[in-house]
Amino acid sequence: MNASERPDHSPPLGSETRVVAFEIKHTQIIDHHGAPLGPLPEFAKDPAELIKLYRAMVLTRLFDNKAIALQRTGKMGTYASSNGQEGVAVGMGSAMQPCDVFAPVYREYGTQFMRGVAMHEILLYWGGDERGMNYAQQRQDFPISVPIASQIPHAVGAAFAMKLRKEPRVSVGVLGDGASSKGDFYESLNIAGAWQLPVVIVIVNNQWAISLPRHEQSFAATLAQKGIAAGVPCEQVDGNDVIAMRYIMERALERARNGGGPTLIEALTYRMSDHTTADDASRYRPPAELEGQRQFDPIMRLKNYLTHNADWDDAKEQALQAECSAEIESEVKLYLDTPPMPPESMFDHLYETLPAIYKEQRDEVMQLGATGGGEDHV
Amino acid sequence: MSEITMVEAINLALARALEEDQNVVVFGEDVGANGGVFRVTAGLQKRFGGERVLDAPLAETAIAGMAVGMATQGIRPIIEIQFMGFIYSAVDQIINHASRMRNRTRSRLTCPMVLRTPHGGGIHAPEHHCESTESMFAHMPGLRVVIPSSPQRAYGLLLAAIRDPDPVIFLEPSRLYRLMKEEVIDNGEALPLDVCFQLRDGKDVTLVTWGAMIHETMQAADQLASEGISAEVIDVATLKPLDMETILTSVAKTGRCVIVHEAARTCAIGSEIAAQLAERGLMSLFAPVQRVTGYDTIMPLFRLEKQYIPSTARIMAAVKKTQEVS
Ligand SMILES: Cc1ncc(C[n+]2csc(CCOP(=O)(O)OP(=O)(O)O)c2C)c(N)n1
Ligand SMILES: [Mg+2]
């Protein structure tokens, strides 16, 4: 049923006119075999540019595999995998400029790496160490946000700051399909529209919110259409097509940068992993569904394109994999070689200057040392 | 009867409640097919159907607010907030509606609902998954706040919470979910919601605690015993309304009191207990009341959670301080 139809198809009474009509467009530029469906955007005509995107996706996938291995071997805590979603992340990252601001959830490693966030920082975070969110690069970007959808008001607020300061920058906020049910999202989307703020909000629809499938999350035909009620231009894109993702993202960023206001993008993708390493998706997700999604893999798709159009071959592939693995290994080493912070550091960065009243507590922590005063504790 | 974990005991109580009252409905994020992220609701949807045990979209404000609406219309909703760190957008509904619907309608409309949520740290979980902000809720008139510390008490207290005619915040110490097993008799018997449990009899000092800190506190009591100090241990369990009589009676006997909690120190339930001891028990105290608590910091990520959560050694040291004065 189309939501604009009357459910019983009853005839109109009195005067009935169409006040406004809506539609949602979906963009795909290469199909899932890697074949172009029409002309390519300018950037995609340069093979070197596409190889950059390919490299970023491969790096993210290999990082992901490594992070899961670290968790499984007790060297890191719970980790949220981005396997299958690299096209969305790299598409966003490649379209953004360094001066923009990024407000991620917890699966946007591909974007973060492109923006200069270090792999060992992400590992430190999931390894239970606050220093991971003190990015050495991209000092303006937001930390990973675990309370679902709570980062979208931040993204919109950052955009308002940019507008107030007349800066040609754009804020990008990301959320999941599940998160699009939260008030934080609706409330700030509405303000973004009302105040015409330079923000791009991306719903990463990976079809699941832990165990809740997309169709049980919302009865809406698309999640993109949530922008309509807020007067925010909105569209859908095949997020596993990194070329389309970057193209749509660039267009939205450009409009925002030129004073054209916000955009809501729904990127369709699939969570190929468990929700996190603490989850077991086999309890709720049919294995056939997962298998059926493999053919849409974003990395394989671009690889097929490069093989047919840019002389990509096994030798190049192997060289790339080796290069990425070496980069990851050195970052993992940095992570593993980082000693824990001293216990009293929990009082650091609480305020600019720690109020004197907390000194006694801090001294106690310092004096109790690494075990908190008990070897057998916790 | 076999011994079961707290997860299984809570599951048993939920099943019993669903069985005995058709109006009981369990809902929240991932409580259906997935059985909850801690498996607390495992099997319930299969057994009682998707109309009575169901997954909600991701929307804590609506989940809590809908429970208020349902409760006023004869349903007895049991909602789950996946972790205590995600309860805050539900707080508007709890403080502005659930806790005062009875009062502002002169009991015309009431809110017999239970909000269950995991509580506390110590399980190496990610950020925002380790909160212990029970005092926020204890501060809200019209609510009950309950936190069990063993499988058997979890079973009896949850049944009482579900049958209670008013809203109950039911906190489940996630560190205890699988830490110990205990025999639980599934006889449908509820425990009272307004008396503390005395877990250990003693004469030299009263240790007052709740939730997961029972673990370290009982350990401390054992060690103290071997050093000739006899500690009485009180599990407050029903944090609001607070049963001060049991605590005062104990302190009248021991003359010394150490309060232990994982929550940050300032304006916590320990502060309230200490204040009431000052008001009503000062004459029986031989030494100043001691508090062993989480620090006034953000709950650190798990690399430092061990240093944040009170250790047995810290409890011992506080007890020794009370013994120095006579
Ligand atoms: C406010 C809030 N409620 C609940 C949770 C627990 N939780 C973590 S992830 C998640 C599902 C998120 O789904 P979605 O938004 O689709 O993002 P995805 O994990 O699929 O990337 C839930 C319920 C949370 N982190 N924050
Ligand atoms: Mg999702």
pLDDT in tens, A319-364: 999 999 999 999 999 999 999 999 999 999 999 999 999 999 999 9
- Specify whether B164 is located in the same domain as B201: no
Of the three residues B183, B217, B242, the one that is the final residue of a domain is B183
- Could you tell me if residue B192 is inside a domain? no
Testing the interface with B: which of A282, A346, A359, A368 to mutate, by most B Cβ within 10 A?
A346
- Specify whether B70 is located in the same domain as B8: yes
How far the first Cα of chain A sits from its last, in Å, is 55
Q: Round to whole Å and give the CA distance between B293 and A293.
A: 49
Instruction: Select from A83, A148, A184, A268 the residue to mutate for testing ligand 1; criterion: most ligand atoms less than 8 Å from CB.
Output: A148
Give catalytic status of residue B129 as yes or no: yes
Residue of B nearest to A176 (CA): B58
B286 to chain A, any CB pair closer than 8 A? The answer is no
The larger pLDDT score, comparing residue B325 to residue B3, is at B3
- Could you tell me if residue B188 is inside a domain? no
- Could you tell me if residue B84 is inside a domain? yes
Per-residue confidence at A378, pLDDT binned at 50, 70, 90?
Answer: low
Q: Which parts of A92-209 are beta strand (E)?
A: 101-103, 171-176, 199-205, 208-209
What's the rounded mean pLDDT across residues B1-26?
A: 96
- Residue A176 burial by Cβ neighbours in a 10 Å radius (0-12, 13-18, 19+): buried
Of the three residues B134, B160, B183, the one that is the final residue of a domain is B183
What CATH class has A41-337?
alpha beta
CATH at residue B113: 3.40.50.970
CATH at residue B306: 3.40.50.920
**A139 Cα to the center of ligand 1, angstroms:** 26
Q: How many domains does chain B have?
A: 2
- Specify whether B82 is located in the same domain as B151: yes
Query: Is the pLDDT score of A43 beyond 60?
Result: yes
- Specify whether B58 is located in the same domain as B205: no
Q: Round to whole Å and give the CA distance between B149 and A82.
A: 37
Q: Nearest Cβ partner of B304 from A126, A283, A346? A: A346
- Specify whether B123 is located in the same domain as B203: no
Residues with Cβ within 8 Å of A352's Cβ and at least 6 positions away in sequence, in order, are none
A336 to chain B, any CB pair closer than 8 A? The answer is no
pLDDT in tens, A241-266: 999 999 999 999 999 999 999 999 99
Please tell me the predicted confidence (pLDDT) of residue B292: 98
Chain B, 95-114: which have a CB under 8 Å from a chain A CB?
A: none
pLDDT in tens, B99-123: 999 999 999 999 999 999 999 999 9
Instruction: Select from B29, B58, B83 the residue to mutate for testing ligand 1; criterion: most ligand atoms less than 8 Å from CB.
Output: B58
Please tell me the predicted confidence (pLDDT) of residue B2: 86
pLDDT in tens, B38-49: 999 999 999 999
Chain B residues closer than 8 Å to A148 by CB: 58, 86
Please tell me the predicted confidence (pLDDT) of residue B1: 62
Q: Round to whole Å and give the CA distance between B33 and B45.
A: 7
Please tell me the predicted confidence (pLDDT) of residue A1: 42
pLDDT in tens, B75-100: 999 999 999 999 999 999 999 999 99
Q: What is the ipTM of this complex?
A: 0.96
Chain A residues closer than 8 Å to B30 by CB: 210-212
**CB–CB contact A218 B57 (8 Å):** yes
- Specify whether B161 is located in the same domain as B285: no
Please tell me the predicted confidence (pLDDT) of residue A3: 52
3-state DSSP of chain B: CCEECHHHHHHHHHHHHHHHCCCEEEEECCCCCCCCCCCCCCCHHHHHCCCCEEECCCCHHHHHHHHHHHHHCCCEEEEECCCHHHCHHHHHHHHHHHCCHHHHCCCCCCCCCEEEEEECCCCCCCCCCCCCCHHHHHCCCCCEEECCCCHHHHHHHHHHHHHCCCCEEEEEEHHHCCCCCEECCCCCCCCCCCCCEEEECCCCEEEEECCCHHHHHHHHHHHHHHCCCCEEEEECCEEECCCHHHHHHHHHHHCCEEEEEEEECCCCHHHHHHHHHHHHCHHHCCCCCEEEEECCCCCCCHHHHHHHCCCHHHHHHHHHHHHHCC
Q: How far is CA A141 from CA A152, B51, B117, B324, in A?
A: 13, 43, 31, 53
Residues with Cβ within 8 Å of A23's Cβ and at least 6 positions away in sequence, in order, are none
Domain containing residue B203: 197-323
Residue A69 dihedral angles phi and psi, to the nearest 5°? -60, -40
How long, in residues, is chain B? 326
- Could you tell me if residue B190 is inside a domain? no
| Choice among B119, B129, B215, B261 that is catalytic | B129
